[in-house]
């Protein structure tokens, strides 16, 4: 039995993991009051929510935008990791997941071009 690599599956998994991490980190683990945490969670998840229909439909535009949006989450993770020692682990997870989304979006685009 051989495992077949699927960039489309990987980009969807990376998307769900990044969105889930933002919900956990900003919505549940934050130390701000609940209304503030909810606002930050909503603001952070808005670009991912707009991307979802395009990404899960499987068009090349969705994969291209996923790669583009991942750079913003990468920058946020770097800022958090460098701003405070207590947030370094949270930022590192966001950095990893945004890099995973970026490269898997590229792999999905390559796979889409090969099948077209």
Residue 4's pLDDT is: 65
Taking only the tens place, the pLDDT of each residue in 3-57 is 566 888 899 999 999 999 999 998 888 888 989 999 999 999 999 999 999 988 8
pLDDT at 100 over 90: yes
- pTM flag (> 0.85): yes
Contacts of 38 (CB under 8 A, 6+ apart): 27
Distance CA 46, CA 76 (A): 15
Map out the domains of the chain as residue ranges.
7-115
Taking only the tens place, the pLDDT of each residue in 70-97 is 999 999 999 999 998 888 899 999 999 9
């Amino acid at each position: 039995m051989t495992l077949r690599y699927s960039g489309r599956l990987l980009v969807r998994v990376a998307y769900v993991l990044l969105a889930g991490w933002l919900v956990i980190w900003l919505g549940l683990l934050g130390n701000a009051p609940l209304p503030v945490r909810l606002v930050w969670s909503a603001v952070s998840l808005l670009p991912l929510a707009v991307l979802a229909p395009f990404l899960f439909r499987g068009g090349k535009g969705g994969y291209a935008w996923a790669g583009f949006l991942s750079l913003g989450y990468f920058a946020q993770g770097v800022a958090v990791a460098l701003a405070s020692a207590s947030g370094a682990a949270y930022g590192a997870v966001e950095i990893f997941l945004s890099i995973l989304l970026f490269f898997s979006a590229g792999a999905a685009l390559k796979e889409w071009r090969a099948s077209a």
